[in-house]
Structure 1
Amino acid sequence: MSEHSIDRRFRLNGASDISVSFEFFPPKSEKMEQRLWSSIKRLEPLAPSFVSVTYGAGGSTRERTHATVSRIVNETCLKPAAHLTCVDATKEEVNEVIQAYWDAGVRHIVALRGDPAAGLGEKYAPHEGGYRTTADLVASIRSIGDFEVSVSAYPEKHPESPSWDAELDVLKAKVDAGATRAITQFFFDNDHYFRYVDRVRSAGITIPIVPGIVPVTSFKGISGFAKKTGASVPGWLAHRFNGLGDDPRTSELVAAAVAAEQVMSLADDGVEDFHFYTMNKADLVYAICHMLGLRENRKVRTSVAA
């Protein structure tokens, strides 16, 4: 038995040093809303540090995001983080949303430049009268309220960045504007994450860089999304899912194993915070967290049952 696995078996017993957070997306139908709330209730007893709710391309889910976040505040023990983007809105409109979040009891915003309404891969153009960059948005959020502000980070470089220097300059501008945490785009090769953290620290940036983890619920879907976001899909990952296109049950088991391997390896190398892109599918994430050593918080479970 390796030294790593021995260390892991004892060090993660109870996972007192592990922190997790979860990302959900707002529902588009009554059926999706039921699935969302089933996922939230499934994961709530794990007492995540926060849960975030996404914002569709072009701000297309603005109202649903606000409604979901408000319900999380009122009906759960969770601390919600609302996604907010710069696209398709004036500064005044965005500021109204920020103030509405504050009034609803939200104290954490995930600030993003956002994607055009046409979707990923289309050229971004700032809205006339709107915020031009994420750093501008972060500065406004911090001026309106004492929010915690998370921003995005790209271990394999944002597809629009011409160089690593430019990439790090963008992150530094967000931090200088008041960002308190960065959450990475998903990745499958942990070396990408560690090389990125080394670059960030060498640039004098000290905020936490939390790895974003995505269970591969659909290999075809994740592969397509990865191409648009600049994330690589290694050959070994494709091999794991080869031949499972018509076997969703086995694909789900393989997805759990792959994600568990990744997070356990990151934990072995000292990573303590993980952000899971749940895709509103809680069982896979719950199983991975269980393997990390997390167990249900009895106080939270009592509140959920009540």
Structure 2
Amino acid sequence: MSLVLSGDVAKRLIELSEALGVTPSEYVKMLLDRASLGRRVDLMPLRFKVKVAEIVAEAALEVFSKPLVVWSGGKDSTVTLHIVRRVAEGLGKSFDVVFIDHYMHFEETLDFVRKVVSEWGLRLFIKGNERLRGFRYGDVVKVDELDPRDRDELLKIGYGKPEFTFSLNNIAANHLLKTVPLLEFIRDGGYDGVFVGIRWDENPARASEVFFSRRSDPVHIRVHPILHFTERDIWDYTLSNKLPINPLYYRGYRSIDDKYETKPTGNKPAWEQDLERTPERVGRAQDKEGIMELLRRYGYM
């Protein structure tokens, strides 16, 4: 069996393979070799990685009738948002943006989100699990006192304990505060293509993801334009394009989540730290107990 490529697809394939110093056939083989994908894709110059991200965004915006960008105010989702916004403007397409509120965000993150929304003219929706809004960090939540919808969600993920702590260091709270409101928003809004800013190198739970990933309950496609970016790529793109930066990154945070348990990883701005030899998410609570893999499995990532 043979496959013949022509036009823009062939041209871009040749450009990307030449950037790596391999033949087009060798480049395709590298992409198919999932075990070494993360290591090899790092050799690709950033300008070509950006082209790949733009192609992914363009395909999604052309195919899906109601696209959505999930934006946290963090570096990865801001780069994703910038790429999608630029491509959408070129295509004359529109999209919505959702910010998932788990009620424990840094004030700096909330201020940053409001600032960028105003400057970029975004159509932003803020979505949280309103059934849990009354709890505060550290509260013990009794499962049998939850709304039936949330009790069912915990059963769905196999959580059988009678209580959990209202914090992001456990899967029960993460699922109810992040995954549930996101999936409710997708379902209620009828979104069919959902952009998420995840990367292969960020966490082992993401290493097997693909650019277009089919999801069910609700049925939609996850779109991951920057899978092939490294943390260094994110900062190089951010700084070279003069993107707005969450002020927490200036204060040594490399990955941002809740204000109670997320810690800085150094005294220098994030992009000046040793990105290549130190863990990116070590300052975040959700590295505990394999929560990242469970979040992916149950639909947040």
Pairwise same-fold verdict (TM > 0.5): no
TM-score normalised by structure 2 residue count: 0.32
